[in-house]
């Protein structure tokens, strides 16, 4: 479903120097796989998710979505762009960066209206009830708690009926109860889900496969999640586990 070939990307620093974010990343993700993206801060996890969502384009390499190369030319095709934006959605780490509508109803309905879907009201009410936020439909979303905002953003994405859900540290702003609810909910979704997280304790419940980026922005490991998490030496080498020598 998703395939990356030798993807590299860098950013320009304050002194016009090139700062690497990803180096020669190769991966394949099958339909309905649940994948956990691991790596230290600055390893390139968020950059990889943004490339997968078509928000930025890699400097080198190729990205294929359902066998079609995803690049500027592809997304200039209005019909393909519409399909891709509906099928591949991205939940940012901080919900405040996604919220901009006057009410919760408008927030959930925004994408549906952009796509000119007919049953907007029905879908908004269905997903607001699914996330137990129906009572807030006429409330400005910025007044909600962090967990409630996260639910609003997730409802706004899932009402589009996507096929791929990209999540960047989805539990970062949630309390333990809401985190538990989110994990249970994600496990039940019949979607391809790629979740970036720092929380190794939660990782086991978020997928079966893992992609691990190194501090050098390269693919350190990809394969069975449990096997990686049970390998102390690999965790230390990836700087995901600290061993106290004293």
Each residue of 12-53: pLDDT tens digit? 877 778 889 999 999 999 999 999 999 999 999 999 999 999
pLDDT band at 230 (very low <50, low <70, confident <90, very high): very high
Per-residue burial over 83-93, b if 16 or more Cβ lie within 10 Å, else e, is bbbbbbbbbbb
In a domain, 5, yes or no: no
199 lies in a domain?
A: yes
Residue 83 covered by a domain: yes
Cβ atoms 47, 4 nearer than 8 A:
no
Q: Which domain holds residue 173?
A: 30-61+78-237
- Is residue 23 one of the residues assigned to a domain? no
In a domain? residue 243: no
Nearest to 174 by CA among 89, 94, 90: 94
Is residue 195 domain-resident?
A: yes
Mean of the per-residue pLDDT values of the chain: 93
Q: Could you read off the pLDDT of 192-218 as tens digits, one per residue?
A: 999 999 889 899 999 999 999 999 999
Contacts of 17 (CB under 8 A, 6+ apart): none
CATH of the domain at 157: 3.40.50.300
Q: How confident is the model at residue 246 (pLDDT cuts 50, 70, 90)?
A: low
- Establish if 48 belongs to a structural domain: yes
Is the pTM higher than 0.85?
A: yes
pLDDT of residue 174: 82
pLDDT (mean) for 154-167 = 96
74-117 pLDDT per residue, tens: 999 999 999 999 999 999 988 899 999 999 999 999 999 998 88
Please indicate whether residue 246 or residue 102 has the higher confidence score (pLDDT): 102
Task: Count structural domains, the chain.
Answer: 1
Q: Is the pLDDT of residue 141 over 70?
A: yes
pLDDT of residue 245: 61
SS3 66: coil
Residue 190 included in any domain: yes
Radius of gyration, CA atoms only, the chain: 19
The edge-to-edge listing of strands for the beta sheet with 18-29 is 18-29, 2-12, 60-65, 68-69
Residue 177's pLDDT is 87
């Amino acid at each position: 479903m998703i395939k990356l070939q030798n993807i590299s990307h860098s950013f320009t620093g304050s002194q016009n120097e090139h700062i690497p974010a990803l180096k020669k990343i190769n991966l394949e993700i099958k339909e309905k796989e649940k994948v956990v993206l691991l790596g230290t801060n600055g390893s390139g996890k968020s950059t990889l998710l943004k490339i997968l969502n078509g928000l930025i384009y890699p400097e080198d390499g190729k990205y294929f979505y359902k066998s079609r190369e995803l690049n500027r030319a592809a997304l200039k095709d209005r019909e393909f762009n519409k399909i891709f934006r509906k099928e591949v959605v991205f939940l940012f780490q901080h919900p405040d960066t996604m919220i901009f509508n006057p009410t919760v109803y408008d927030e959930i309905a925004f994408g549906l209206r952009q796509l000119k879907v007919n049953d907007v009201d029905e879908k908004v009410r269905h997903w607001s009830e699914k996330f137990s936020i129906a009572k807030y439909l006429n409330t400005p979303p910025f007044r909600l708690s962090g967990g409630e905002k996260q639910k609003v953003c997730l409802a706004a994405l899932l009402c589009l009926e996507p096929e791929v859900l990209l999540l960047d540290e989805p539990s970062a702003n949630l309390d333990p109860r809401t985190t538990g609810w989110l994990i249970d909910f994600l496990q039940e979704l019949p979607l391809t889900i790629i979740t970036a997280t720092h929380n190794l304790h939660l990782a086991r419940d978020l997928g079966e496969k893992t992609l691990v980026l190194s501090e050098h922005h390269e693919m350190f490991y990809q394969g069975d999640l449990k096997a990686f998490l049970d390998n102390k030496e690999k965790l230390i080498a990836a700087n995901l586990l600290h061993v106290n020598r004293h």
